[in-house]
Amino acid sequence: MTLLPARVTGDPLRLVLLAIAAVTVVTGACQMVAPGFVLELLSTDSARSSSLSRHLFATVGMFMIVIGGLLAQQLLSPGAPSFPLLWVGLQKFGAFALVTAGVTRELFTGLALLVALFDLATAGLCWLLWRRPPRPAEPFVAASAGTTEPEIR
């Protein structure tokens, strides 16, 4: 017996993305609560931690919690629209690009590059699920022309 719906447990892509969503929420919470500790793990000696950088790092952690929660809710909710997958994927790709830029500028260590590659992989998985046609058990919900009520096809 599982607490997860069959649409998640029967779909390896959804299951992996749900695990990533949980990891995103947990790591975001760690980053929000202890930004200095996480920043020290990922930053180089040349990028010294300041109260401003710790505060901004905690703010990023808060957004990680929101994005992870959004992804989890999208995956667990039956009939949920697919557009959150696009936006989560774009956020993860943006995180990859910016952290990679920080590594090339020697602000972050190689460990941060692993985090960036994880974000890139997550962006790719979100894109795959977003582009995948709906399965028969998942009705496609579209708005009818001229109405605000969704139409199930």
| CA angle at 125 for the pair 18 and 91, rounded to the nearest 5° | 85
Query: What's the pLDDT tens digit per position in 6-47?
Result: 888 899 999 999 999 999 999 999 999 999 999 988 988 766
pLDDT in tens, 59-99: 999 999 999 999 999 999 988 899 999 999 999 999 999 99
- Measured CA to CA, the distance from residue 121 to residue 5 in angstroms comes to 24
| Separation of alpha carbons 96 and 99, rounded Å | 5
pLDDT (tens digit, 9 = 90+) per residue, 101-115? Answer: 999 999 999 999 999
Which are the contacts of 128, defined by CB distance < 8 A and separation ≥ 6? 13
